[in-house]
Amino acid sequence: MPLVMIVYYVICLFIAGMLVWNFAREKDDRQMMLLYLVVLVPLVLRLLRIN
């Protein structure tokens, strides 16, 4: 795997981590909770090398 691809996976992991962190911190706004999770889906599928 080329270095640039590894860097992109690291960025992907970082963004996914931020989304999880923000989801965990969100206490009231259900729409924002759902939004964090929906945005997380393609990142998880990419990190698991599914799509």
Q: Which two tokens stand for residue 28?
A: 């009231």
Token pair for residue 31?
Answer: 């729409």
Q: x-or-dash pattern for other proteins, window 12-41, by CB under 8 A?
A: -----------x--xxx-x--xx--xx-xx
Min dist CB 15 to other proteins, Å, is 14
Per DSSP, 50 falls in state -
Nearest to 48 by CA among 7, 12, 18: 12
CB of 37 to other proteins, least distance (A): 4
Query: How far apart are CB 33 and other proteins at their closest, in Å?
Result: 5
